[in-house]
Each structure stands twice: as C-alpha cells, then as structure tokens.
Chain A
Amino acid sequence: MEYIQQQFIQMFGAEWGAMLFSLATNMTFIFAIVVPLLLGVAYLTFAERKIIAYMQIRVGPNRVTFFGIPWLRGWGQPIADAVKAIMKEIVIPTGANKFLFILAPILTIMPALAAWAVIPFSPELVLANINAGLLYILAMTSMGIYGIIIAGWASNSKYAFLGAMRSAAQVVSYELAMGFALVCVLMMSQSLNLGDIVNGQQGDSFLNWYLIPLFPMFLVYLISGVAETNRAPFDVAEGESEIVAGFHVDYSGMAFTVFFLAEYANMILVAALTSIMFLGGWLPPVDIAPFTLIPGFIWLLLKIAFILFFFLWFRATFPRYRYDQIMRLGWKVFIPITLIWIVLLGLIMQLPESVREFPPLNIWF
C-alpha cells in the first residue's frame, strides 16, 4: 500500500500524487462494496423466489445451472434473468419526456448505493468514517423519492402518475417515523457516527444491544423500512389486483430492471441499518470464545440475512394493506409511539446517577 503511494507521489508530485492516490484507493473500496452488493441483490431475488416457494409448498426456480452441474440447479436463474433483461428493448413512449424518463431509474438506484459509503463492516472497515453518518444516511434515503416522482411524471401517463403519487405519499409518511426511531438510537449512543453507535452497544452479551431498551423503536423502524421500500404488505404501488403496476408501468427492459434492483438494494440497506442500529452491527451475540473467533464482518452479514428473511417472510404471510390503513398506521400509530418514546428516553436519561445504577438501567445508561 505504502509502495503504491510512493509511486503515485513520484509520478504526480507531492500534492497531486496524494490526492490521486486517495482517489484511486476510494474507487477500489467503492468497487469492493458495490460489486458484492449487486451480486447480493441478484441472489436476493433468487432467495425470495426459493423461500416463498418453500413456504407455499412449491419448489421454485430449479432449472438454470452453471456448466450443467446438477446440484447447482436454479442458482443460474438470477444471471439468466439479468441477461434476458439486458437483451430486451427499452420502449420509450411517444409522449414521454425522454431525458427525465431515462434519468428516473438512475435517480432511484443512486441513493440506494451512495448510502453504503458510511456503513461500517467492522471496526476498521468503513469507506467514509464521518461524524454525521446517520444524517448522511437519512439525507440519502430521502432522495430516493425523486426517482419515483420523476418516473411517474415523465411517462406522461395518468396511471403511472397516480402510482407515483401513491408511492411518494407513502414513502414521505414513513420517513418521519423512521427518522424519529433513529433519534432514539442517537439519544442512546450520543453520536451520529455509525461506528460509535455500534461501539455503544458493546458489552457482555446481546442484552447491551439497543434492541432491548428500544424494542418498540425496532419494530417501528423495521415496519417503516418495509413500507419505505414499497414491499409487501405495503406494496400498494404495484397492487396487481387493483391498479396497473404503479409508477413504472411504462418502463421495459433494463430501465424497469433498474427500478427492481433499487428496490432490492434498498431492502439490503434497511436490513444493514437495522442490524447496525439495533442488533449490534459487527458485535457477536455473546462475548465469549467460540463467538468472538468469528470475524465481525460475518456477524454483520448474518444479521443482515436474518432481517432480509423477515422481509421475505412478511411477503409470503400478510395480505396487502388498504391504502387508508397504511396512512393511518404511519401517521396515527407510529409517529405518536416514537414521540412518546423519545420523551420517555429523555426522562430516563435525566434521572439521577444513583437511580440509573440499578439493574437493568445500568446496562444501557
């Protein structure tokens, strides 16, 4: 690493060499995050089809394989789907606004990928260890809505536009509850840095994780995350039985696939954030020998996979919500719960030192 830095400084001079070196290392890190993420997205679609199939006593995709290896049957399915999507023609409707029509899917997937910049994978492994990491995440996820609105408007179709309005209103409503739930987390950790938030959950066992003191917030965050990513049972945007597919009804081929990729990338992001905020990130569940030997990176991946399983399980289990009930849940149930919990948490934190020493308060405060 230092040798390469020396080479850069020799080639471009002291100032420019250092700048270009940090640019090159950052680009390498970005690729090291984005490529596995996109592979994860591809295989999440496969996992979804397989898991829901088994829950419904079916088999799921079991044909496409690599090099004819029989025990890999089905594992080639996401690759085959991707190739199919790339081959298809992207139809741009005549009345559509061409520039915005193409821009919308890009705007949808950009924040889903950009938010990964501050996710810590282990104590040292993080692309940008910034102080305002949590705020950055909130800012990035709130930008995802532009893709939806622009897609609905640029298609120049009333069905796409109505779908965009439905999804946008839903995403805006649940963002509030999500933000308030995260306020509780940052009150506990007293830091906006995601690494510090995980370190604040360090202790003997999983009892120290924010999952226990903030359990209602965990539920609010998880359910809002499902609603935020427009997943079942909150997938009214593409309620097949009531309306046409929603804001992306006029999209085809790869442009449509990018919307799909963004949805799954957002699912993985919400799962990663839930694991970091509430499930202790890279920390093992119990701080004793066999668990601590496993690297923190693996623990984080396991927790992400666990939360993602919930997403798929929800989809196989619950019937779709009615639209007014979605709005009621967001505004009249979740936001009051989060506000009450914030006040409660503030009161507990202001208790005198002697009271806070009693168990179980001494674990968390």
Chain B
Amino acid sequence: MNFQDIIFYIFSAILIVSALGVITVRNPVYSALLLVLAFVTCAGLWLLLEAEFLAITLVLVYVGAVMVLFLFVVMMLDINLDQLREGFWKWFPFGAVVALIMVGEMTMVLMGKYFGLEEMPTPSAQDADYSNTRALGRLIYTEYAYAFELAAVLLLVAMVAAIALTLRHREDKRSTNSSKQVQVKKEDRLRIVAMPSEKKE
C-alpha cells in the first residue's frame, strides 16, 4: 500500500459516505451540500487518474455553476418534510422496481466484457509536459466533431426552450430604458423661468 492508494481509499470513503448522505439526510440544503462534497471528491479521484482537465471541469461546471443554482432553489423553497414523506409506502413498490431495473442494467454493463482490469488497464503515467487539455481538444474538434456539434445544438435547443417556456409578456410591465436615461440632457428636463422678484409689503 503506497501513498497514492491511501489517498484513493480516503477519497473513495468520503465519496461513498457523502453520496449516501445525499439521499438519506433529511434537510434538503444538507443533501445539496453533500452532493457538492461528492463532486469535489470525485474530481480528486479523477486527478489520481491524471485526468486533470475533466477533474477541474467537473468542479468548474457542477460545483461552480449547477449546484449553485440547485442551492438557490432549495433554499428559496419552503419545503414541508412531512408532506414529502406522505405516500412513501404507497410509492415504495414502484420505486423498488425502478431501482431493481437500474441495478440489473448496471450489472450488465459492469460485469460485461467492456469493464474489468483486463479491458481497462491502469493508464500509463504520462510525461510532465503532456497536456490533457490539448489531447482532448484535438479529439473533440477532429474525430468527434460531429457528435460535439450535435451536443452543442442540443444544449442550445434546451436553453431556448427553457427561456421560451418561462417567458411571459406582460402588458403592465414597466422597465427603465437605460440608454435613453443616459442620453438625457439638461434642456430636456430643466426649464429655467425668469420671474420678477416679489416685493415685501
């Protein structure tokens, strides 16, 4: 057991505990924060595999952006725990079936011929000047350019759809026009009136 193994086991333990915590903790804010912890430890595990670009992107995208929005929403909602727990046993059989199907699918993938130490040997260590980012970029923009563009279009469509679904045109909306405000001159607003001074009686 060397230094790297110890770090791997520590990270894995934290990852498993925090991932379990996400679904068992009662407070939804806690479970969102535990999910953040799970992402960060997962990034640490990827760093051990020398996938530094993916690891940092995981932190940047999921921890830095997605989970912030999650936390925003979870904190703003007034969640009633008792109401959420209602009907747990009613839906339990349905959930159990879904869970069983997922377990079956995962076993089929993981136990099949595509995984295992023979098919996926430990990646050999690269030189210090080997750039993960450069290699990934070269692959994405040459070999997988089509799939990459498709994914980009899909994301764009999702974004446009999200905006289109939530956009409401209101007739009584009032908003300021900043460029107009900036262009206002003194003459537009101020009128100087010459008045004869009044005499004191």
Proximity bits, A118-134, B CB within 8 Å = 1, else 0: 00000000000011100
Give the docked Cα–Cα distance between A175 and B57 (Å).
15
Give the docked Cα–Cα distance between A283 and B109 (Å).
54
Comparing B9-17, B65-73, B139-147, B190-198, the segment that makes contact with chain A is B65-73
Contact of A139 among B36, B63, B72, B131 (CB under 8 A): B63
Q: How far is the CB of A129 from chain B (nearest CB, A)?
A: 9
B19 interface residue per 8 A CB criterion: no
Write the chain B residue with the least CB distance to A149: B71
Chain B at the A interface: SS class:
helix
B94 interface residue per 8 A CB criterion: no
Give the docked Cα–Cα distance between A15 and B176 (Å).
67
Proximity bits, A136-163, B CB within 8 Å = 1, else 0: 1011001101100110010000000100
What number of B residues sit within 8 Å (CB to CB) of A?
A: 23
B52 contacts A15, CB within 8 Å?
Answer: no
Contact of A168 among B36, B68, B132, B176 (CB under 8 A): B68
B176 contacts A324, CB within 8 Å?
Answer: yes
A192 contacts B71, CB within 8 Å?
Answer: no
B166 interface residue per 8 A CB criterion: no
Write the chain A residue with the least CB distance to B63: A143
Residue of A135, A138, A172 contacting most chain B CB atoms (<10 Å): A135
B52 contacts A131, CB within 8 Å?
Answer: yes
What number of A residues sit within 8 Å (CB to CB) of B?
A: 27
A130 contacts B59, CB within 8 Å?
Answer: no
Q: How far is the CB of A318 from chain B (nearest CB, A)?
A: 15
B64 interface residue per 8 A CB criterion: yes
Q: How far is the CB of B68 from chain A (nearest CB, A)?
A: 6
Residues in A with CB closer than 8 Å to B29 are 100, 153
Give the docked Cα–Cα distance between A150 and B71 (Å).
9
Q: How far is the CB of A32 from chain B (nearest CB, A)?
A: 23
A15 contacts B68, CB within 8 Å?
Answer: no
Contact of B178 among A131, A136, A328 (CB under 8 A): A328
A192 contacts B68, CB within 8 Å?
Answer: no
A19 contacts B3, CB within 8 Å?
Answer: yes
A168 contacts B57, CB within 8 Å?
Answer: no
Residue of B60, B71, B176 contacting most chain A CB atoms (<10 Å): B60
B36 contacts A146, CB within 8 Å?
Answer: yes
A31 interface residue per 8 A CB criterion: no
A6 interface residue per 8 A CB criterion: no
* 19 other A-B residue contacts (CB within 8 Å) besides A142-B65, A172-B68, A325-B178: A100-B33, A131-B133, A132-B132, A135-B53, A136-B56, A139-B56, A139-B57, A139-B59, A142-B59, A143-B59, A143-B64, A146-B68, A149-B75, A150-B33, A153-B29, A192-B131, A192-B133, A324-B176, A328-B178
Q: Can you report 16 A-B residue pairs in the complex whose CB atoms are below 8 A from each other?
A: A16-B2, A130-B52, A131-B131, A131-B132, A132-B133, A135-B133, A139-B60, A142-B64, A142-B65, A143-B59, A143-B63, A143-B64, A149-B68, A150-B33, A168-B72, A325-B178
